[in-house]
Amino acid sequence: MAIGGAIGTGLFLGSGLAVNVAGPAVVLSYVIAGAISLLLGAALTEMAVAHPTAGSFGVYAGMYLSPFAGYAVRLSYWLMQVIATGGHLVAISIYMHYWFPGVPGALWVVAFAVALVYLNTRAVGVFGEFEYWLAMIKVVALTLFIVLSAALLSGVGGPALGGTNYVAHGGFFPFGAAGVWLGVAFVIYSFIGVEIVGVTAGEARNPGETIPRAMGRMIVTLSAIYVAAIVLLIGVVPWTRIGVGESPFVTVLTRSGVPGAASVMNFVVITAALSSANANLYLITRALFSLARAGFVPVSLGAVTRRGAPVRALLVSSVGLAGAVLVRWRWPDWAYVWFFGVSLFGALLVWLMIFVTHLGFRHAYGRDRFALPYRAPLARSSSVAGALLVAAILATTWWVPGLRITLLAGPPWLGVLALGYWITRKTQA
């Protein structure tokens, strides 16, 4: 579930943004982002095994930091996913331009938004079956892409491309080490979703065994898939020809010469974005429903229909889809980067809070001397390192082309959290 949810527009479209600032060395950006994800996995695993609960990191922040921290993490995660869902639909509209260049992108956003909202009002079984096939398509297609690209590089069916593209156009490090680090700011977005393993801890039968194994395997597998795909992508197509006008993966297959391969991949990246948007909308609807039942947001959002669907929470959670229509129509050239940047702030804030929460968790462990059911190696030091790295990435976005919006979104974001918490406390008093 976590792997399927993580593989989406961050890889299929956002990778083009990362390549533009790092060149072929973006491969190292993916390695760094994968390492940070492993640090996050270690911190979250310790807490999830000790407290296997569905609320996961939001609950832990409330337990080990403060009630406001718990509220801020939960609401930030919801807001981040709301905005990311809108960004997925903007990406779909970019993909559709490959086939229908004359149709305004905003119309595609409207069409897919209506379809997603309708689907999420149906029974859960319908959602599950639909999401299963969407996730299956993108995982299988990504595997086939890796195989085909490897064949092109090695010369199967034609002249071998070799490693020319890795050193052409400025060498492997056309922007130096700084470019690699700037690339991490884009690449880290592709790993957002690994924390879902912690969210599912409450349903694990044997958390002490299943959670560490699932977390480790998932992050390592995801990192391996990403690195392999990017290595091959850079090898097949010169990095200077990769952008965000279309998916870089479609660009690669357009140059492969295989009849229909580019159209098939374009279909795949559309289903990948649709899968991520569908899963996000389902999760944020249930998250808002849960927040309503817990008294963090208006209780009316916890109502359900006769079929058991939380339609009110669904409609409120669809605000990101409405925003996507407006932004795609008014600022078509910047729409995806803006949604990407704003949701990145929320994601990095949540990751930073997970690391800080883990340090509070470990402090409580040392003070109360309770036995940890699971201990990750060097967990405390890795959480300090992880917090510093995430904070550094957040600060770096100010100098990343197109991502200044990330830090600009910070003050109003924190203002919404403070206002929401104040209203919640006043209502509960």
Q: Domain residues for 234? A: 2-428
Residue 295: left (phi > 0), alpha (psi -120 to 50), or beta?
Answer: left
Decide which of 283 and 83 is more confident. 83
Q: Has residue 363 got a pLDDT over 80?
A: yes
Q: What is the mean pLDDT of residues 54-73?
A: 88
* pTM, two decimal places: 0.89
Model pLDDT for residues 282-329, shown as the tens digit of each residue: 878 878 887 887 777 888 888 877 767 788 888 998 988 999 999 999
Report the C-alpha gap between 236 and 228 in whole angstroms. Answer: 12
CB of 420 closer than 8 Å to CB of 71: yes
CB of 13 closer than 8 Å to CB of 336: yes
CB neighbours of residue 200 within 10 Å:
17
Model pLDDT for residues 230-270, shown as the tens digit of each residue: 998 898 888 988 877 778 888 877 776 677 888 888 888 88
Q: Has residue 415 got a pLDDT over 70?
A: yes
Average pLDDT, the chain: 85
By C-alpha distance, which of 83, 120, 215, 230 is closest to 165?
230
Domain count, the chain: 1
Please give the C-alpha separations between residue 347 and each of 129, 154, 176, 322, 351, in angstroms, as whole numbers: 28, 38, 27, 21, 6
Token readout for 226 is 């990403």
The per-residue DSSP string of 243-269 comes to -SSS-HHHHHHHTT--TTHHHHHHHHH
Q: Has residue 103 got a pLDDT over 80?
A: yes
CATH assignment of the domain containing 60: 1.20.1740.10
